[in-house]
């Protein structure tokens, strides 16, 4: 006997799961009038406690595309995020350590007010949880950890979930957004293709001598890319950046072992002092980077989304942007199925979701892998080609325009 029964259960209320629940619930409220609404629940392993970010920035940030921001607007979360703090970036500079290749992108070239926004992960989650709390047709259950799953042969019956506290829940659709180590993916036996990048990302917040001037900067070093992502305090100060410094595992280890002063010096050198000297650094975190892609995103009654379906190198800042596109497409397909009188977990809808999302996610992952490899290669002819290529792209307005629009999610 189930303790609770729902139409849709979302496992994981990180950025992707919380956005999916909020979008589906918002669409339901807008579309179903007096008709029957889907019963939606979100299960989150973490307690409903937000970190105190009044004195510091969350070390984990994302560069959001215009399309991702629109999703957050549509679910009513963007206003709260923007009221708190976000940093638009109007320019992006990409250059290579080993040569003269250099590309600059400017939002004016694509007639947009910015290329995107740098936002702290915790602020996105906080705003989405707040929305979930406000939406009358969603229940946010936390802490609630999925530990077991039974799929039923009758498609209509969906799945039965066991939680760590011993309770049992049924769902016609289980949307699994439980992250890179997805328990649901494991319980469904969904296969994963994965490989180590051999890289670790060091992430932290730094204070710099110079103002970042709303510019995101990325330098490609032979050992891996280093990104300075601009941040802005509530008071409008622009001397802070979140850094993502991808390094081979052993080098990352030794950088982590440095004291703050030596780390700041090493970082300034690696970034060619693009923002002057590094004045201060917050606590550093080291995150192993792995490429993962689920062979299938769906089985009857279950769909993987976000990092549960794919993880990608952060060099182009696309991870959660891809996850948010999963959100938009799965919500569309669930609505379409329900509109036709089908179960929200019907394989017709899930198949369409997989067909719409998998090629796009795979394509983006392949391009990022290509970039990473091209910038790792050291033979002279590759270096010359790379530098010439960057300079050429920088001069070719239409191609540059296309790249920017693609990266911004405008195409
Ligand atoms: C260094 C770095 C930099 C990045 N920069 C960018 C960027 O600039 N732009 C970008 O788009 N992306 C970026 N990414 C990627 C982005 O951070 C991820 O794609 C994103 O966080 C994935 O969100 P998610 O909701 O899918 O997963 P998660 O954030 O991992 O959320 C999963 C949630 O599920 C919960 N959970 C786990 N197991 C269970 C369970 N059994 N039951 C219930 N709940 C469970 C967890 O507690 C968690 O809240 C970056 C990643 C890294 C590592």
pLDDT for 74-98, tens place per residue? 999 999 999 999 999 999 998 887 7
User: How far apart (Å, rounded) are the C-alpha atoms in residues 298 and 374?
Assistant: 33
Give distance in angstroms: CA of 16 to centre of ligand 1: 7
Residue count of the chain, please give it. Answer: 411
User: How far apart (Å, rounded) are the C-alpha atoms in residues 342 and 346?
Assistant: 6
Nearest Cα residue to atom 37 of ligand 1: 178
> Ligand 1: which atom is nearest the Cα of residue 229?
8
344 within ligand 1 shell (Cβ under 6 A):
no
Instruction: For strands 138-141 and 40-43, give the pairing.
Output: parallel
- Other C-beta atoms closer than 10 Å to the C-beta of 285 total 13
Are the beta carbons of 278 and 268 closer than 8 angstroms?
yes
Mean pLDDT of 197-203: 90
Nearest Cα residue to atom 2 of ligand 1: 314
User: How far apart (Å, rounded) are the C-alpha atoms in residues 174 and 126?
Assistant: 23
| Structure tokens that stand for 20 in this block | 């999916």
Q: What is the pLDDT of residue 153?
A: 77
Among 48, 64, 319, which is best to mutate for testing ligand 1, by the most ligand atoms less than 8 A from CB? 319
Percent of the chain with pLDDT over 90: 71
Q: What is the pLDDT of residue 104?
A: 86
In the block, residue with structure tokens 């399309």: 67
Looking at per-residue pLDDT, the higher value among 313 and 133 belongs to: 133
- Full 3-state SS string of 29-96: HHHCCCCCCCCEEEECCCCCCCCCCCCCCCCCEEEECHHHHHHHHHCCCHHHHHHHCCEEECEEEEEE
DSSP 213: T
Domain ranges in the chain are 4-407
Give distance in angstroms: CA of 121 to centre of ligand 1: 9
| Structure tokens that stand for 230 in this block | 């601009």
16 within ligand 1 shell (Cβ under 6 A):
yes
Q: In which band, very low, low, confident or very high, does the pLDDT at 335 lie, cut at 50, 70 and 90?
A: very high
Q: How far separated are the first and last CA of the chain, in Å rounded?
A: 48
Q: What is the dihedral of CA 195, 199, 204, 208, to 10 degrees?
A: -140
Most confident range, picked from 158-162, 219-223, 375-379: 158-162
* pLDDT tens digit sequence for 37-70: 899 999 999 998 888 888 899 999 999 999 999 9
Q: What is the pLDDT of residue 122?
A: 96
> Ligand 1: which atom is nearest the Cα of residue 147?
41
Mean pLDDT of 269-273: 95
Are the beta carbons of 333 and 173 closer than 8 angstroms?
no
271 within ligand 1 shell (Cβ under 6 A):
no
**Res 376 pLDDT > 90:** no
225 within ligand 1 shell (Cβ under 6 A):
no
Nearest Cα residue to atom 20 of ligand 1: 320
CATH 1.10.760.10 fits 4-407, yes or no: no
123 within ligand 1 shell (Cβ under 6 A):
no
Give distance in angstroms: CA of 17 to centre of ligand 1: 9
Task: Tell how far CA 346 is from the center of its chain.
Answer: 27
Give distance in angstroms: CA of 311 to centre of ligand 1: 9
Q: What is the pLDDT of residue 297?
A: 98
User: Does an H or E element contain 112, and which?
Assistant: none
Mean pLDDT of 263-283: 97
In the block, residue with structure tokens 């506290």: 165
* pLDDT tens digit sequence for 6-27: 999 999 999 999 999 999 999 9
Q: What is the pLDDT of residue 234?
A: 93
322 within ligand 1 shell (Cβ under 6 A):
no
Nearest Cα residue to atom 35 of ligand 1: 12
Task: Tell how far CA 91 is from the center of its chain.
Answer: 21
Is 0.85 topped by the overall pTM? yes
Q: What is the pLDDT of residue 318?
A: 86
Q: Which residues have CB under 8 Å from 111's CB, separation 6+? A: none
Q: Tell me the torsion sign for CA atoms 79, 80, 81, 85.
A: positive
Mean pLDDT of 165-171: 96
By the 10 Å C-beta count (0-12 exposed, 13-18 middle, 19+ buried), 60 is classed as middle
């Amino acid at each position: 006997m189930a303790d609770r029964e729902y139409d849709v259960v979302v496992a994981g209320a990180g950025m992707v799961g919380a956005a999916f629940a909020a979008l589906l619930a918002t669409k339901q409220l807008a579309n179903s009038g007096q008709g029957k609404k889907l019963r939606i629940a979100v299960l989150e392993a973490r307690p409903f406690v937000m970190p105190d970010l009044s004195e510091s920035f969350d070390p984990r940030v994302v560069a959001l595309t215009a399309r991702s921001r629109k999703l957050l607007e549509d679910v009513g979360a963007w206003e709260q995020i923007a009221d708190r703090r976000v940093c638009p970036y109007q320019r992006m500079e990409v250059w290579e350590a080993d040569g003269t290749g250099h590309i600059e992108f400017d939002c004016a070239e694509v007639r947009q007010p910015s290329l995107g926004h740098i936002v702290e992960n915790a602020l996105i989650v906080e705003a989405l949880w707040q929305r979930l709390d406000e939406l009358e047709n969603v229940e946010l259950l936390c802490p609630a950890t999925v530990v077991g799953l039974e799929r039923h042969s009758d498609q209509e019956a969906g799945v039965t979930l066991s939680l760590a506290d011993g309770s049992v829940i049924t769902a016609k659709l289980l949307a699994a957004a439980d992250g890179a180590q997805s328990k649901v993916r494991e319980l469904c036996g969904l296969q994963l293709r994965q490989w180590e990048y051999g890289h670790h990302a060091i992430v932290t917040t730094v204070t710099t001598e110079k103002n970042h001037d709303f510019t995101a900067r990325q330098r490609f070093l032979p050992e891996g890319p280093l990104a300075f992502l601009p941040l802005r305090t509530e008071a409008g100060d622009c001397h802070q950046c979140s850094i993502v410094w991808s390094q081979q595992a052993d080098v990352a280890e030794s950088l982590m072992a440095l004291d703050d002063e030596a780390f700041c010096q090493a970082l300034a050198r690696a970034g060619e002092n693009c923002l002057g000297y590094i004045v201060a650094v917050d606590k550093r975190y080291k995150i192993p980077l792995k490429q993962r892609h689920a062979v299938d995103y769906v089985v009857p009654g279950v769909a993987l989304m976000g990092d549960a379906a794919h993880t990608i190198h952060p060099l182009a800042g696309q991870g959660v942007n891809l996850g948010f596109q999963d959100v938009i497409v799965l919500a569309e397909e669930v609505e379409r199925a329900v509109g036709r009188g089908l179960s929200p977990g019907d394989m017709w809808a899930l198949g369409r979701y997989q067909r719409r999302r998998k090629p796009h996610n795979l394509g983006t992952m392949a391009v990022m892998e290509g970039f990473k490899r091209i910038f790792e290669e050291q033979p002279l002819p590759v270096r010359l080609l790379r530098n010439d290529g960057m300079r050429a792209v920088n001069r070719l307005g239409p191609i540059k325009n296309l790249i920017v629009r693609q990266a911004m999610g405008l195409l």
